[in-house]
């Protein structure tokens, strides 16, 4: 799911709060994907010439559209460079899988705002939470080697730290299966990382929540296997479990188990990023497109958020998982284990990854959000197709989501189509009641109407007014955000507003 590995289901900048990734939830993205499900044409065949491929790429590049469309109207489309400029995202990298191979990969924009260094297909990005499914495959390989078990109490093998007593019991211990599927009842959704110059804690300090760690201690406060709750803290336990049982540091261990066998030659879990690789890395940027001081944050929570990689390497990972599930290859895990990984445990999560089935078309996906980076990996389980998008901006989730929709349309997938929403006619007189300034947390929001249109200005919606469309006399939605604004009359007879994102936020009218 935004946030180190903190979910931003939009891929989707849905909140009016500046960088509110820490409150976003991965399971919500699964629900939103379900809302996008629809039938599309059969999958497109591989192009027969370079000219055909270039035409296909151009259609993807120019077909970026929002998650919603007005009923009876085509969704508006935009060029990728246009959306990058609008969302202050300096760089984007894409890799597309077709027929079981990387059909094309391209970079767009620059490594750092103000520079002329272009993003290439070899540029490194932080994968954020996409680190988790790669970690999961490493853990499952250790299960197949007999080093780990999916269903035994992990406390039996943890060294240097044990899960403290909590909601777990002898009858319901925390298991590796629980940790990989986010059903262990563990706390700590995600991690903020450590800025340049800050002290970086050890893994044990992170688990204890002891200084210099900037996250709470990892605990179990819900009975294991009773509910899904996304937990980066759980994957930090997996990291300790894997190193405890093998006696190896996590970076070389993952090179041995996953990255090396798959051929992910541009990828590393090393944190901080070695000086020898820093020139190849994209700089992280905030919502305004400004470089993060020190270029990026460091994540000692490697299993949850620490992978540096490229879209092409993540595409190789997706292909390896597709091939394993199809019985074509057992490079890292067997067909039986791959199929077990791609079965829903609770909700839409399997072992380390979101698993979906839309009209018989199965897929797996995961997104990732670290400070200044947003990315998404989406692949069909069968048929050898998929896409990976990585960006170096806090606004990159919108672009990644739009690229996914454009690729889905071009390649004929049954998922990720814009949702049509009906309009309700609302008079200018009604719209005028909502004109004014509103206080939403620390920011001021301006609402105005013009020629039958309701326009909202808010810092995190960009420099220009954003149009909101009526679904009733009082409720309005935006095409680009999973965001609804509802106006309600207050005791003074004026109107306040409630903003529905993943939370319910109150916006008070300023007299």
Assign residue 483 the CATH number of its domain: 2.40.128
Which is higher by pLDDT, 501 or 186? 186
Residues 107 and 86 in one domain: yes
Which distant-in-sequence residues (6+ apart) come within 8 Å of 229 by Cβ?
182, 183, 185, 186, 222
pLDDT at 181: 98
Residues 248 and 371 in one domain: yes
- Only one residue has tokens 């190896």, namely 248
- What percentage of the chain carries pLDDT values higher than 70? 91
Which distant-in-sequence residues (6+ apart) come within 8 Å of 35 by Cβ?
419
Residues 339 and 239 in one domain: yes
DSSP 284: P
Query: Mean pLDDT across the stretch 365-372?
Result: 97
The answer to whether residue 9 sits within a structural domain is no
pLDDT at 42: 44
Which distant-in-sequence residues (6+ apart) come within 8 Å of 294 by Cβ?
195, 196, 197
What pLDDT, in 10s, does the model give residues 427-459? Answer: 999 999 999 999 999 999 999 999 999 999 988
The answer to whether residue 232 sits within a structural domain is yes
Give the range among 64-73, 299-308, 462-471 with minimum mean pLDDT: 462-471
Give the range among 8-17, 72-81, 88-97, 164-173 with minimum mean pLDDT: 8-17
Res 185 pLDDT > 70: yes
Do 130 and 375 touch, CB atoms closer than 8 A?
Answer: yes
The answer to whether residue 4 sits within a structural domain is no
How many angstroms from the chain centroid is the CA of residue 427? 39
Residue 263 burial by CB count (10 A; 0-12/13-18/19+): exposed, middle or buried?
Answer: middle
Q: How confident is the model at residue 503 (pLDDT cuts 50, 70, 90)?
A: confident
Give the global pTM. 0.87
pLDDT at 360: 93
How many angstroms from the chain centroid is the CA of residue 26? 8
Residues 304 and 453 in one domain: no
Residues 396 and 458 in one domain: no
pLDDT at 44: 66
Q: Looking at the 3D structure of the chain, how many domains does it have? A: 2
pLDDT at 463: 73
Alpha carbons 416 and 405: distance in angstroms, whole number: 5
Q: Which helix (H) or strand (E) element contains residue 293?
A: none
Alpha carbons 43 and 75: distance in angstroms, whole number: 21
pLDDT at 38: 35
Residues 323 and 219 in one domain: yes
Neighbours of 293 (CB within 10 A): 12
Alpha carbons 478 and 66: distance in angstroms, whole number: 9
Q: Where does a domain end: 399, 419, 439?
A: 419
Residues 121 and 98 in one domain: yes
pLDDT at 16: 33
* CA count, 13 A, side-chain hemisphere, 429: 0
Alpha-helical regions (H) of 351-452: 396-411, 428-432
The answer to whether residue 130 sits within a structural domain is yes
Do 42 and 61 touch, CB atoms closer than 8 A?
Answer: no
**Domain hosting residue 473, numbered range:** 428-509
Among 20, 418, 377, smallest CA distance to 190 is for 20
What pLDDT, in 10s, does the model give residues 189-201? Answer: 999 999 999 999 9
pLDDT at 37: 39
Can you give the CATH number for the domain in which 285 is found?
Answer: 3.40.710.10
């Amino acid at each position: 799911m935004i946030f180190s590995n903190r979910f931003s289901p939009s891929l989707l900048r849905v909140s009016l709060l500046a960088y509110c990734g820490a409150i976003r939830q991965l399971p919500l993205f699964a629900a939103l994907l379900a809302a996008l499900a629809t039938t599309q044409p059969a999958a497109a065949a591989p192009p027969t010439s370079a000219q055909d491929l270039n035409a296909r790429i151009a259609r993807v590049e120019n077909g970026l559209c929002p998650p919603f469309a007005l009923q009876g109207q085509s969704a508006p489309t935009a060029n990728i460079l246009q959306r990058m400029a609008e969302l202050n995202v300096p760089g984007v990298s894409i890799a597309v899988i077709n027929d079981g191979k990387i059909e094309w990969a391209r970079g767009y924009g620059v490594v750092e705002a103000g520079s002329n260094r272009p993003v290439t297909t070899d540029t490194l990005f932080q994968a954020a939470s996409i680190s988790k499914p790669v970690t999961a495959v490493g853990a499952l390989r250790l299960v197949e080697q007999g080093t780990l078990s999916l269903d035994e109490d992990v406390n039996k093998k943890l060294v240097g730290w044990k899960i403290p007593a909590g909601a777990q019991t002898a009858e319901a211990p925390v298991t590796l299966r629980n940790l990989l599927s986010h059903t262990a009842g563990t706390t700590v959704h995600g991690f903020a990382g450590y800025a340049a110059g800050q002290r970086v804690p050890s893994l044990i300090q992170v688990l204890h929540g002891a200084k210099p760690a900037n996250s709470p201690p990892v605990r179990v406060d819900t009975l294991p296997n009773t509910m899904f709750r996304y937990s980066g803290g759980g994957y930090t336990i997996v990291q300790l479990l894997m190193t405890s049982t093998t006696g190896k540091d996590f970076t070389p261990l993952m090179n041995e188990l996953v990255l090396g066998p798959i051929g992910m030659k541009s990828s590393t879990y090393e944190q901080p990023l070695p000086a020898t690789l820093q020139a190849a890395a994209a700089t992280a940027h905030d919502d305004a497109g400004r470089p993060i001081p020190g270029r990026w944050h460091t994540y000692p929570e490697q299993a949850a958020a620490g992978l540096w990689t490229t879209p092409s390497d993540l595409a190789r990972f997706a292909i390896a998982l597709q091939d394993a599930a199809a019985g074509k290859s057992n490079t890292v895990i067997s067909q039986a284990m791959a199929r077990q990984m791609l079965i829903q445990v609770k909700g839409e999560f399997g072992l380390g990854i979101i698993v979906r089935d839309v009209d018989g078309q199965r897929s797996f996906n995961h997104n990732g959000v670290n400070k200044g980076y947003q990315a998404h990996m989406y692949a069909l389980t069968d048929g050898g197709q998929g896409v990976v998008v990585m960006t170096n901006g806090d606004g990159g989730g919108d672009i990644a989501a739009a690229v996914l929709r454009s690729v889905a349309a071009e390649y004929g997938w049954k998922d990720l189509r814009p949702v049509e929403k009906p309009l309700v006619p609302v008079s200018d007189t009604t719209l005028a009641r909502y004109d004014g300034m509103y206080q939403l947390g620390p920011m001021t929001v301006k609402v105005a109407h013009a020629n039958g249109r309701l326009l909202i200005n808010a810092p995190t919606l960009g420099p220009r007014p954003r149009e909101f469309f009526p679904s009733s006399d009082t409720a309005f939605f935006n095409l680009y955000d999973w965001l609804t604004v509802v106006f309600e009359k207050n005791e003074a007879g004026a109107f306040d507003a409630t903003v529905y994102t993943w939370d319910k936020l109150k916006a008070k009218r300023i007299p």
